[in-house]
Structure 1
């Protein structure tokens, strides 16, 4: 009987996934399971990673609510929801790699800072806006949803009502009024340590082994696109840009990114295309090899 068990285990061993599980978080206007976007990415990763477990986060109890929650559910509540899902998933208890698309990139980074268990081993941010945005050129969603977004932003991004009801307002970063931004931003100013310093945010983020920031060099969605590399406008105007390395986040090492970079744990990659237009070769050459490590 023992010999039979050993034989069966040997035969089944090649079928057991050997790569780290992957957690995906979609962007604005998308959902966990859209067969033309995240559903396709999930299937591709499962194939390329030899059957590894891939979880595409559904924020809510249905695909429809997942999509609308990307516009109207408080970001911190979304992170709490994702943390609960991940902590209950037995496939993720030994750790996972995370890949976020557009706003999913900064949400996963917030997850790493606020929900350190189980451990996020690696973070790949695909067009995430880590310094926020200052403008929405077009809205990828239904006509009704986009009209609601416009209406709320017209009321003022930093009013309590809009901050409580519009996701995108929570990472709206107005360089013309940094004081109001720091005072009223419910999400991005907090996780970037621009309100108060939370030692756990830095400690937890530094537990991630590697972080990759991917910027789309012809991005027409994200303003400014340099936010995808943690860059942004210099305070007081909206023309001249500063890099991550010129910011207080780096100079004061509020998130541990400077130390991680010194240790060779940060990567900054660029794609010569529009927002979330990832060429097949880039998947093969840059993303898949990282997820196989």
Structure 2
């Protein structure tokens, strides 16, 4: 089963347009373009967190887990069920409605209770799921993530709501309507998951005052009583990772901007210009360790061709990246 086909249901459920056909292609050249390690006995476990609107054991996610097991015999794969012990309906609803930190903490507690993960694991986050796995890496007191791989994750937030699927679900429609009524109201910031990683560069004062999940995840801090901007430390940051592998999609129109997957953001003075990571205080001040990771050759910003979550066919971009970064010896 091709990796793109395995995740097609997840892509559609999340509101991204399903690709008309699989697009074959490779990741862009990068400093980490050496050949991947050969599969070895005793591969490290893998934790997977699904995207918006999907569930841990949807058909697509289960097939993806089976694909990984076929590639790396003996590997232990765990798909995070959020909320823990929730029904598929509960999981889908939780992707739209709730408190992001609480959902992430639930995943943390779940992972800590799994004996097979006690020695550490690699992790793959699909779109929104990558934010929750990053929260785990920065704040959870559980076993460490070794390689964190994210596909299309809006690490620096979204400047437009992720579109609902066609036809739209009631859950998505209600969430979108509520968000549009006031994205930075206290109610939205404590009830709507998308609002909690909505970062409008033209409304940074509101973002810093009202947001906590994404703001603190990136170490951007809040605004104190005197109006000055401080910053949280972003928990442990990301420097303890062996590798941070952030994958963007070249034609992504689901996440705006698509290069948020690489911590890039829209220039508020020129919305056609994207400000790269290196030109931002997040990097210059090394708020969460991205500068240290890059200097050590452990920050890998890669590309897949095509639209959001279009991972290509057999031997394509997603296939090669999974084979490269998963399955290392424990």
Which TM-score applies when normalising by structure 2?
Answer: 0.80
- Which structure has more relative contact order (CA 8 Å, sep 6+)? It is 2
Could you tell me which of 178, 192, 201 is aligned with 2:218?
192
Gaps of 5+ in 1: 1-15
Picking from 192, 210, 215, the partner of 1:166 is: 192
Between Structure 1 and Structure 2, the one with more helix by share is: 1
TM alignment of 1:1-293, pairs within 5 A: 18-35=42-59, 37-60=60-83, 61-136=86-161, 138-140=163-165, 142-195=168-221, 196-199=230-233, 201=235, 203-236=236-269, 238-279=271-312, 280-281=314-315, 282-293=317-328
> Hey, what's the Cα distance between the residues in 2 that align with 1:204 and 1:274?
29
CA change 1:199–1:165 in 2 (3 A) is closer
Q: d(CA) in 1 for partners of 2:134 and 2:162?
A: 24
Q: Contact (CA 8 Å) 1:116, 1:204: kept in 2 or not?
A: no
Shift of 1:132: 0.3
Contact 1:24 1:57 in 2 (8 A): yes
Q: Is the 8 A contact 2:237 2:288 kept in 1?
A: no
Q: Retained in 2: the 8 A contact 1:233–1:242?
A: yes
Instruction: Tell me how far 1:208 sits from its aligned partner.
Output: 1.0
Structure 1 position 198, deviation (Å)? 3.7
Measured in 2, the distance between the counterparts of 1:190 and 1:262 equals: 23
Which has the higher mean CA deviation after the structures are superposed, 148-157 or 72-81? Answer: 148-157
Equivalences, count: 276
Structure 2 unaligned regions, length at least 5? 1-39, 222-229
List per-residue Cα deviations over 1:145-190 (Å, max 9, x = no partner): 1211221112211101111110000000111111111111131111
Shift of 1:237: 5.2
Q: State the shift of 1:228 in Å.
A: 0.7
CA distance in 1: counterparts of 2:256 and 2:148, whole angstroms = 22
After the TM superposition, which of the residue ranges 147-156 and 77-86 deviates more from structure 2? 147-156
TM-score calculated relative to the size of structure 1: 0.90
How far, CA to CA, are the matches of 2:104 and 2:44 in structure 1?
A: 21
Pair member with larger Rg: 1
Residue 6 of structure 1: aligned partner = none
> Which structure 1 residue ranges, 4+ long, deviate > 6 Å from structure 2?
none
